[in-house]
Structures are given as structure tokens and as C-alpha cells.
Amino acid sequence: MTLVHPSAVVDRRAELADDVAVGPFAVVEAGVVLGSGCILHSHAVVRGPTRLGPGCVVFPFAVVGGEPQAKHHSGGPAGVEAGDANIFREHATVHGGTDGRTTTLGRQNLFMVGAHVAHDVAVGSHCVFANCAQLAGHAVVEDWVTFGGLSGVAQRVRVGEGAFVAAAAACERDVPPFVVVQGDRARVRGVNVVGLRRRGVSEESIVALRRAVRALWSPRSPGGTRAAALESLRESGDAYVRQLVAALTAEP
């Protein structure tokens, strides 16, 4: 049974599943589709056209959808597509895409207080954005990435699978998968061991990644180059190392 508080404003052109809950003073605009079990707490705002998958939760004063902060936006539909079980905590914001494009979110992501996802961003699944983490337009975040508070990602930067972006890190270049980056400007500091173990990655693969990261980013002997290290790792027997090498050698 859908529960809509009398003070909520729900446009008749919105589509709500049968068991959605909409709290006091929440706003649901035309073009919004809320999947089964979605919960909008008091003062939450979902702007159209936005589609939230089953089990998404929007906390007070979060805003999902709406026009992008982009000077070149032509004024066409600014869509957001989100998979199931995403959580948007207080004051989190997700902007729609520009010129008819769509901002996309996978499933089971957590956007903590004040996190921001800009226009045309693509976020994978199982990611965590700590308080005030910021993604600029057209950024790409792969699965299982964790962001510390106040971290930021510049326009069109890609953050690889399983990376950890430390608090206040400023990412102006692509972040390889499975590593920890930290600093202004962010640099590789090591392997995201904690994140990999939480996912159940084997200790053998973690050891292999540590060796690969040392070979690629630690001071090299005279005559040694990163290109040579990449070539030596290309045929690694470990799938995670091969994925790291593939990300570093991919065409822009």
C-alpha cells in the first residue's frame, strides 16, 4: 500500500509503485518513477525525469534529479536513472544529464551527507561516498569504490574498480583500479587492501597487486621504466593484476 503524507506534493504524472512511502513535505515531480519499496523522508525532493529502482531511500533535504549546473545545457530533459537500494542521505544532490543525456547510478550505493553527483556522471554499484564527496560532470566511477570525506573528482576523470579515494583527495587524473590515492593532487599510495578483503578477494591476489603496485610506482632502478614494468606484468597469472595493467594501457 502506497503511503503519501497529506502535506507531500506528488505530481499526478509521477509513477509510484504500490508500496512506496512519501513523508511530510516531500516533493515528487512529473516524470518521476519510484520502484517498489522506495522511501522518501520528510522534505526529500525527486525531480523528473528520474527513475529510482526498488528500495531506494531519500533522506530529508536530499535532491535527486533536476537541471544540471552546466552553462552549455540546452534545456532538454535532464534525466537520472538509478538502480535498486541506493541511499541518499541528507543534502546529497544528484543532477540530471545535459542535452537529453542521463546521469546513471548502479545499485546499492551510499551517498552520505552533502555528497554531490554532477551531470552526465556514471556511477557503478556498491560505492560509498562519504560526507561532501564531489563528482564533477562526465566523471565515471566503477564498482566498489570508496570516497573519503571532502574528496573530489574533476570532469571526465575515471575512478577504477575497487579504488579508495582518501579524505580531501583531489583527483585530476584517472585513478587506477584497486589502489589507494591521497593528496592534492592525488597520487597512488598503495593497494586498497581493506576494500579487497571486504569483497572476499584472495590473499594471493592482494599480494600480487602489492608487488605490481611497487613495480609501477615505487622508485625504480636506473634504466627501469614504467613501460617495462607494465610489459612484464602484462602476462601475469593473476586476473586482478591483468585488470590493473589493462586500465593503465587502455587507449584514452
8-state DSSP, 199: H
* Residues β-bridged to residue 152: 134, 170
Q: Which three cell numbers stand for residue 97?
A: 544529464
Q: Does residue 120 have an active-site annotation?
A: yes
Active-site residue, from 73, 116, 119, 126: 119
Catalytic residue (one of 48, 73, 120, 138):
120
User: If DSSP codes are grouped into helix, strand and coil, which group holds residue 31?
Assistant: coil
Residue 84: which residues within 8 A CB-CB, separation 6 or more?
35, 53, 54, 55, 56, 107, 108
Residue 74 has φ and ψ, to the nearest 5°, of -85, -10
- The closest of 137, 185, 136, 190 to 162, measured between CA atoms, is 190
Cβ neighbours of 237 (radius 10 Å): 8
Rounded Cα distance, 110 and 221, in Å: 42
Residues in the chain: 252
Active site residue 137: yes
Residue 219: other Cβ atoms inside 10 A: 6
Catalytic residue among 31, 65, 83, 137: 137
- 75 catalytic per annotation: no
Contacts of 252 (CB under 8 A, 6+ apart): none
Catalytically annotated residues = 119-120, 137
